[in-house]
Amino acid sequence: MPTGVTATPHPPRLAAGTLVVEPHAAAGPVATDSRHLVWESGPIESDQFQPTLHDRNLATGATKALSSNVDPLFGLASTPRFVFYARSSGYSTSVVLVSHAGTHTRVLTDTLVTPIASRGNVVAWGEQSGPTQRVVAYTGARRWIVAEMRRCTTKGCYRLGDVTVAKGGIVFTRDAVGSQPSFVVRSALGGNAIQSLVVRHDPQPDLVPSSSGALYYVLSRGWYRWDFGAAHPRPVAFANSPLKQLIRHEGSRWYWLVRHGCSVRLESTPGGNAAALAVPRRLARLRPDYGPSCTQLGALAWAGTHAVASWAIAARAAESAHSDAGLRGAIVSARVSTK
């Protein structure tokens, strides 16, 4: 593993407020670096057009479509030089690298099995080729293998769960296929050692992004954090957490999804800065003939001094009718403090 891997040295030049409005598509995965904002947009119900990858130069405001053949279920990442996105065909899913100019396109793997994760200039994911599973990472176009494992051992078989990138390293889960324990695994940036925790009686511990390290939920036991630099995990208790869905931890802030009918809203603790990431009311209101709307989060990304949220706004009646009537998307940015 290479040493000297650091986050992007300069924060992105993002304005606070509404950055993007998609008039006939949902906004899905979103990522940013010091020079660019990238996102994917597409339909929810319709198959009349394909999801599209967009790139905006933050200095000039120029926006271009990089690809119309993307799989938003696997996310994307952006570094100052490249965009990493997923493309599916048949039973295989690929990670594709392309420059922000739309050139130098190449396939990095066609065996992707986890969503793409990133922080700063570090991009990581899980892949599986036959009996071998790997977690790999890139800095720019330089690749290294974080971990390589057999899918099945004498104790049983495993799936690669989620992969996250913290400030100090990369974290992933090995989910048990059977009654054997699962594992939470971490590897510090700049080191070669792999550390793992045994998780019993939960075949799929939930892992969410955290700037500090591993943040995971164990069935019937609650949340735990295993920070880089800490030898052992410790439980984390939250008030009213059964009513909320924890989706991210950055510095001192915790981000939650709270569901209300067919819509969700973002909350953050401590403080209420998540309100600045909400869909503006003018966008959430559809035409009267569409009826009440539903608002869903596409993605929540972190960009140095800013949080960025993407949203889909659709007519409530359109969901049951399998229609995208009235569909629109938005991307909102807010300057936040993690201190």
* Residue 226: burial class (beta carbons within 10 Å; 0-12, 13-18, 19+): buried
φ/ψ of 68, rounded to 5, equals: -115, 20
Structural domains of the chain, count: 1
Q: What is the structure's pLDDT at 339?
A: 58
Model confidence over 163-197: pLDDT tens digits? 999 999 999 999 999 999 999 999 999 877 899 99
Residue 272 lies in a domain: yes
In a domain, 6, yes or no: no
Label each residue of 145-187 as H, E or C.
EEEEEECEECCEEEEEEEEEECCCEEEEEEEEECCCCEEEEEE
CATH number at residue 130: 2.130.10.120
pLDDT at position 288: 82
- Yes or no: say if 86 and 74 are a contact pair by the CB < 8 Å rule: yes
What is the rounded end-to-end Cα distance, in angstroms, of the chain?
Answer: 30
The DSSP call for residue 281 is H
Determine, yes or no, domain membership for 8: no
pLDDT at 190: 81
Paired with 83 in beta bridges are: 78, 98
Sequence-distant (≥ 6) Cβ neighbours of residue 211 within 8 angstroms = 119, 166, 167, 249, 250, 251, 302, 338
Determine how many CB atoms are found less than 10 A away from the CB of residue 196. Answer: 14
Helix (H, G, I), strand (E, B) or coil at 265: strand
Cross-sheet strand order for the sheet of 206-208: 206-208, 213-218, 222-227, 234-236
For 59, how many CA atoms within 13 A lie in the half-sphere containing its CB?
Answer: 5
Position 259 scores a pLDDT of 93
- pLDDT 10s digits, 10-53: 545 688 899 999 999 999 999 999 899 999 999 988 777 789 99
Residue 2 domain-assigned (yes or no): no
| Residue 17, phi-psi category: left (phi > 0), alpha (psi -120 to 50), beta (remainder) | left
Whether 1 is in a domain gets the answer: no
> Of all helices (H) and strands (E), which one includes residue 283?
helix 281-284
Q: Which pTM does this prediction carry?
A: 0.92
H or E segment at 31? strand 26-32
**pLDDT profile of the chain (339 residues), mean per 10:** 49 80 96 95 84 95 95 96 96 96 95 97 97 94 92 96 97 97 95 92 97 97 96 90 88 93 92 87 86 93 91 86 87 82
Amino acid of residue 140: G
Give, as one character, the DSSP assignment of residue 233.
-
Picking from 297, 216, 258, 338, the residue whose alpha carbon sits closest to that of residue 30 is 297
Kindly state the tokens that stand for 249: 């931890």
Locate 256 and state its tokens. 């939650």
Per-residue confidence (pLDDT) for residue 338, from 0 to 100: 55
- How far are the Cα atoms of 61, 122, 309, 332 from residue 20, in angstroms, in the given order? 11, 25, 11, 7
Domain hosting 75: range is: 17-335
> What's the chain's length in residues?
339
- pLDDT of res. 111: 98
- What's the CA gap between 236 and 216, in Å, rounded? 10
Contact status, residue 41 vs residue 85, Cβ threshold 8 Å: no
